[in-house]
Amino acid sequence: MTGSREVEKAEPILDGELVDDTLPQPRPRSWRLRFARWWLYSPRVPVSLKSRAQAWQLVKDAAVAVLRSPWRYLRAVVRGLVTAVRWWRGWVKVRDYREAAEQSEKLADKFSEIRELTLFRWRVTGAVIGATTVVGGLAVLVYGYRPLWIAGGVVSLALALLGRRKDGSPGRKPALAGPRTLTWTMDPQILVDAFRDAKLIGKDEALRLVERATRVGDGWAVTVDLPATRKAADVVKNREALASALAVDELQLIVERVRGNGGHAGRVSMWVADEDPYASPPVRTPLLGVSRWDAWRPVPFGRDARDRRIDLPLVWTSLLVGAIPRQGKTFAARLAAAGLILDAHVRLYVADFKAGKDWDAAEQVAHRFMSGDETDHVLTLKDWLVELVGEVQGRYRRMRDLDDLTCPESKVTPDMSRDRSLNMPITAIFVDEVQVPLEDRTPVAVQGKKLTVGEYIGELLTWLAKKGPAAGIVLVLATQRPDSKTIPSGLRAVLGSRFALRVMDWRDSNIVLGEQMNTRGFDSSRLLPSHKGVGILRPDGETHDALATTVRTYYMPNEDWQTICQQGRALREAEGTLTGHAAGQDTAPVLDHAAVAKAIGTGPAEVTEAVELPEPLASVVEYLGDDGREFVPTAELVEALDVEPTAFGRQMGALGCRSERGRLTAEDGTTRQVRGYLVADIRAAVREVAEGRS
Give 48-97 pLDDT, tens digit per residue: 677 777 778 778 878 887 888 888 888 888 888 888 888 888 888 777 77
Position 13 scores a pLDDT of 55
Of the CATH numbers 3.30.980.40, 3.40.50.970, 3.60.15.10, 3.40.50.2300, which one belongs to the domain with range 176-273?
3.30.980.40
Work out whether strand 207-215 and strand 219-225 pair parallel, antiparallel, or are unpaired. antiparallel
pLDDT at 333 over 90: yes
- What is the rounded CA–CA span in Å between residue 669 and residue 237? 9
The SS3 of residue 51 is coil
- What is the rounded CA–CA span in Å between residue 416 and residue 405? 11
- Examine domains 314-599 and 617-693 and report if their fold is the same: no
Specify the CATH number of the domain 314-599.
3.40.50.300
The total of other beta-carbon atoms located within 10 Å of residue 484's CB is 18
Identify the DSSP state of 341. Answer: H
pLDDT at 172 over 50: no
Position 392 scores a pLDDT of 92
- What is the rounded CA–CA span in Å between residue 544 and residue 538? 9
Mean pLDDT within 33-43: 73
Please enumerate in sequence order all residues whose Cβ is within 8 A of that of 19, keeping only pairs 6 or more positions apart, or say none: none
Higher pLDDT, 113 or 199: 199
Euclidean distance between the first and final Cα of the chain, in Å?
A: 87
Give 503-561 pLDDT, tens digit per residue: 888 888 888 888 778 877 788 888 888 888 899 999 886 545 677 888 999 999 899 99
Least confident of 330-339, 430-439, 504-513: 504-513
Position 37 scores a pLDDT of 74
Banded pLDDT at 581 (limits 50, 70, 90): very high
Look up the pTM and report it. 0.64
Nearest to 386 by CA among 337, 429, 450, 449: 429
Higher pLDDT, 186 or 87: 87
Higher pLDDT, 46 or 198: 198
Say if residues 264 and 212 touch (Cβ distance below 8 Å): no
Give 677-693 pLDDT, tens digit per residue: 888 788 778 777 766 65
Give 242-296 pLDDT, tens digit per residue: 888 888 888 888 888 888 777 888 899 888 888 888 888 888 999 988 999 999 9
Position 2 scores a pLDDT of 44
pLDDT at 372 over 50: yes
| Residue 479 backbone zone (phi > 0: left; psi -120 to 50: alpha; other: beta) | beta
Output the CA–CA distances (angstroms, integers) from residue 240 to 4, 142, 234, 252, 402, in the order listed. 99, 67, 11, 10, 54
Least confident of 313-317, 399-403, 634-638, 640-644: 640-644
Position 475 scores a pLDDT of 95
CATH topology of domain 617-693: Arc Repressor Mutant, subunit A (1.10.10)
Mean pLDDT within 606-614: 52
Position 432 scores a pLDDT of 93
Mean pLDDT within 635-642: 82
CB neighbour class for 269 (10 Å; exposed up to 12, middle 13-18, buried from 19): buried
The SS3 of residue 534 is strand
Banded pLDDT at 582 (limits 50, 70, 90): very high
Say if residues 164 and 86 touch (Cβ distance below 8 Å): no
3-state SS, one letter per residue, for 369-407 = EEECCCHHHHHHHHHHHHHHHHHHHHHHHHHHCCCCCCC
Output the CA–CA distances (angstroms, integers) from residue 641 to 114, 616, 620, 636, in the order listed. 76, 9, 8, 8
Mean pLDDT within 385-413: 90
Where in the chain are the domains?
A: 52-162, 176-273, 314-599, 617-693
The SS3 of residue 408 is coil
- Phi, psi values for residue 368, rounded to 5°: -135, 140
- Phi, psi values for residue 299, rounded to 5°: -85, 135
